[in-house]
Amino acid sequence: MNFYSTLTSMRVPGTGLGTIYLFPWAIFIVFILLILVLPVLTGTLGTLVSDICFNTVYMDPAYGGDPVLYQHLFWFFGHPEVYILIVPAFGVLSQILSGVAGNMIVYGDPSMVLAMGCISSVGSLVWGHHIYTVGLEVDTRSYYTGLTVMISLPTGTKLMNWISTTTGGVLGVYTAAGCLFMVLILMMFTTGGTTGIVLGNAAIDVALHDTYYVIAHFHFILSLGAMISTIVGVLYSQEVLVAGSPLHGSIIYIHYYIQVSIGITMTFTPMHLLGTNYQPRRVYEPLDNYNSWCYLSSLCSSITTISLVALSFLLEFIFYFPFPVHY
């Protein structure tokens, strides 16, 4: 409500909703999503706690309850929650791209607002693609498959607008540390979105459900998008707002290449291969033929974690010494 009140009542005089930046728009869309889905989550948890603690039978099939109802209600919140986390990352990325490319606004600014709204609204209607294996009817599966594929249209619009924004920009800024991470977001988000279309197909998802493929898709989209966008925002704010010029520190570049080339890429790429070979998730030991891939993924995950911890210490050092540092 605070974000909504700020955007609607505390804008600069003469500033309309059509002239504000994309990041405030992203926060406004997230506010709408939260208003819609949080009551559903509250009711779902309430019925679940009631079944456990007070012996009600909302989810008990022996007394006419429906255990699938819980999955529907949970994923009605769970899937929009992905957009609650990733839409602000869209706003951060759009804000930074317009700055580092030397443009005042993102290419196709109104279409970017519309794309974020379409992604969030359509994404709130496709929760059923998480539960294809519970026995949904063919028509219901077709509905969720079609809507899931439709999300790729506004997503493609955003990607093309981001790329178009950089066209004709100042090429020198692409050596800045924040821009390197921004390229990482575009690559990983494109990869994760493509695998999401694959999983959105009911016929394929039945085979890949609860495999490592799902884990790889989720982390390419959400963990990398939300996490790396936070890093980009911090780096950009330090470079532009605090230091006044890009950080060309060799330590940041080394961290970037270790995190991207070794850590992130080699953590989740093997998971796609494991998933297509039906390696189930949530198991203690991997299949015998794929031990090496699982060990490689675990090792690179540790490298990613260490690199993120190292980056946090580096950023803390930078903020204590807010001047351009050349290593």
* pLDDT, tens only, 21-56: 888 888 889 989 999 899 999 998 998 898 889 888
Last residue of a domain, one of 169, 188, 203: 169
- pLDDT computed for residue 208 by the predictor: 92
Same domain assignment for residues 158 and 175: no
With beta carbons less than 8 A apart as the criterion, state whether 195 and 217 touch.
Answer: yes
| 116 in Cβ contact with 90 (< 8 Å) | yes
- Res 174: pLDDT: 46
Residues 197 and 301 in one domain: yes
- How far apart are alpha carbons 268 and 185 in whole angstroms? 14
Decide: residue 290, CB within 10 A, 0-12 exposed, 13-18 middle, 19+ buried: middle
Q: Residue 325 pLDDT more than 50?
A: no
Query: In which domain, by residue range, is 124 found?
Result: 1-169
Across all residues in the chain, what is the average pLDDT? 81
CA distance 82 to 151: 13
- Cα separation, 310 vs 291, in Å, equals 29
Task: Provide the pLDDT for residue 246.
Answer: 54
The reply to whether 150 and 106 lie within a common domain is yes
Residues 73 and 83 grouped into a single domain: yes
Rounded to an integer, the average pLDDT of 103-113 is 80
Same domain? For 191 and 133 the reply is no
> Which carries the bigger pLDDT value, residue 186 or residue 130?
130
**Same domain, residue pair 144 and 238:** no
- Determine if residue 46 is left, alpha or beta; phi over 0 gives left, psi from -120 to 50 gives alpha, anything else beta: alpha
Same-domain status, 144 and 226 = no
This prediction has a pTM of 0.84
Residue 31: HSE in the Cβ half-sphere, 13 Å Cα cutoff: 14
Reported as half-sphere exposure (CB side, CA atoms, 13 A), residue 81 has a value of 13
Task: Give yes or no: residues 1 and 143 share one domain.
Answer: yes
The total number of structural domains in the chain stands at 2
257 CB-side CA count, 13 A: 5
Q: Are residues 76 and 213 in the same domain?
A: no
pLDDT tens figures, 202-259: 999 999 999 999 999 988 887 767 777 777 777 777 666 555 555 555 666 777 777 7
Distance, CA of 5 to chain centre: 26
Of 169, 194, 224, which residue sits at a domain end? 169
**pLDDT per residue as tens digits for the range 280-319:** 888 877 777 778 888 888 888 888 888 878 777 776 666 6
C-alpha–C-alpha distance, residues 38 and 130, integer Å = 19
Query: What does the alpha-carbon distance between residue 287 and residue 275 come to, in Å, rounded to a whole number?
Result: 11
Question: What's the average model confidence in pLDDT over 105-113?
Answer: 84
Confidence of residue 326 (pLDDT cuts 50, 70, 90): very low
Residue-level pLDDT at 145? 93
Neighbours of 84 (CB within 10 A): 19
Q: Kindly state whether residues 31 and 116 are assigned to the same domain.
A: yes
**Using an 8 Å Cβ cutoff, are 96 and 26 in contact?**
no
Percent of the chain past pLDDT 90, that is, above it, reads 19
State the average pLDDT over residues 11-23: 75
Domain stops at, among 134, 169, 204:
169
Rounded percentage of the chain residues whose pLDDT exceeds 70: 84
- pLDDT confidence of residue 228: 78
Residues 194 and 283 in one domain: yes
Pair 164, 224 in one domain: no
